[in-house]
Structure formats: C-alpha cells, structure tokens
Copies of this chain bind each other. A is one copy, B any other.
Amino acid sequence: MAFPEPLERLIRALEKFPGVGARSAERMALHVLRSPREEVAELAMALRDARVETVRCERCGNVSLETLCTICADETRDAGLVCVVEGPREVEKMESAGVYEGTYHVLLEGFSPREGAQPESAAMRRLCDRVAGGTVREVVLATAPDREGEGAAMLVVEALRGMSVQITRLARGLPVGTRLEYLHGEILAEAFRGRRECAADGGPVESGGAPEA
C-alpha cells in the first residue's frame, strides 16, 4: 500500500524540483499536511504568480516583470559594460556587492548552472547581437571559477572572437576575509600565479579598474 492518492500526487509533483529526491519530497509533502491551510494556499498562489508574472528580460535574459528588466531599463547603468553571469542568482550576488554599475547578460537557459548547464545558444546569440550593436565596450566574464563556469566563459570568448570589444574576467586569488589554512591548495596556486607587485604600503601597484586594451 502507498500513501493516500492526494499525498502521492503531491510527492510526485515535488520530486520534479532539482535536488529534491523521493525522501525529501515525502518530508515536504507531510509538512504540507500539517501546515495551516492559508499557508498552503499562499504557496500554491505564489507558485502560479511567479510562473505567470515573470518573464526573461529580452535584452539580458535575467528574470523580469517587464520586457526589459529593471537594470537594463535603468538609464543610469553603464550599457557599455556587460557582465556575463550564469544565472539570476549571480546577478543578485553582483548587485549586492555594490561595486558594479554596468548591465548583465544571463547565459544559461536553465537558471540552474550546476545541473547539466550549457550556455543557451539563444543567450549567446543575444550577447553577440548586443556587442555587434556597437554600444558595448567591455564584456566582463563572471562565470564560476570551476569547470562548467570556465567552459561557459570559453564559449563566450570564442563567440565574441574578432568583434571589437574588450573581454575581461573577474580576478582570481585569495578570497578576502578567509584564513589561508582553510583554503584549497588550488586557490593558493592560482593566487600565486596571479601575484602582483606590491606598492610601499602593501597594496597593489596598480589597483582597480579594467586593464587597458
């Protein structure tokens, strides 16, 4: 015998979430049974609303309520600077860092880079179109410093080859605020390979800003 049908149906629906296996789906479903009805109704409504009301920005591919997302529509943002990220979460992360005033380009269809991610060819075409449009002077690669991210970055570099745009990537090195003892050796190796000359005050000789083309 199995669980009652409505419960089984809910479990099967929850299992479709990435990273949610049979056991988690069961736990989640049983949680639903003991949650207040209003809370469950709220979640059901939120699901439909989020699916129906959001679209992808037709320029950068980020999640948006309008044809253009708030960042692309914001005329104070530097449209000549395009930061290529894997998904909407990376956009949020960059925004919260508070140093970036350019625009974005969201690469991956799935919004979920870690799962069999391939830069969507449509996203890549849109990026080429943006660059071909002539307003973009610099593309900053901000894909993850891992195998998938590096692969995505390489595809972007290839796609933009021969176009007149500067391509940069985020610096690699020691993550600010950690102790060396906790870092993976490869992080240290990369930081060593990328070492920069020190100024008298211990800071880098040339700091900040994109390298000159």
A interface with B by C-beta (< 8 Å): 1-7, 9-10, 12-14, 16-20, 24, 26-35, 37, 39-54, 63-65, 70-71, 87-89, 92, 95, 109-112
How distant is the Cα of A39 from the Cα of B70 in the complex, in angstroms? Answer: 28
Given contact pairs A42-B13, A47-B43, A49-B10, A54 touches B33 in the complex (Cβ within 8 A): yes
Question: Chain A binding site: helix, strand, loop or mixed by DSSP?
Answer: helix
**Closest beta carbon of chain B to A129's beta carbon, Å:** 22
A44:B37 contact, CB within 8 angstroms: no
Q: A51 contacts B33, CB within 8 Å?
A: yes
Cβ contact within 8 Å between A30 and B111: yes
Q: Which residues of B contact A9 (CB under 8 A)?
A: 46, 49-50
Which residue of B is nearest A69, CB measured? Answer: B4
Q: Is the CB of A40 within 8 A of B34?
A: no
Please state if A10 and B111 are interface contacts (CB–CB under 8 Å): no
- When distances are taken between beta carbons in the complex, the residues of chain B under 8 Å from A24 are 19
Sampled A-B contacts (15; CB under 8 Å):
A1-B71, A5-B65, A10-B50, A14-B43, A17-B28, A20-B28, A26-B89, A30-B112, A33-B54, A33-B111, A34-B109, A37-B52, A40-B48, A44-B45, A44-B47
Contacts of A35 in B (CB 8 A): 16, 51
Task: Assess whether A95 is in contact with B50, with CB atoms less than 8 Å apart.
Answer: no
Which chain B residue shows the least CB distance to A42?
Answer: B13
User: Nearest chain-B residue to A87 (Cβ)?
Assistant: B30
Given contact pairs A27-B18, A49-B10, A110 touches B34 in the complex (Cβ within 8 A): yes
Contacting residue for A46 out of B6, B20, B42, B112, CB 8 A:
B6
Assess the B64–A4 pair: CB atoms within 8 A.
yes
Q: Are A92 and B32 in contact (CB under 8 A)?
A: no
**Is A31 within 8 A of B111, CB to CB?**
yes
Q: With A and B bound together, what is the CA distance between A120 and B37 in angstroms?
A: 21
Hey, which chain B residues are within 8 Å of A111, CB to CB? 30-31, 33-34
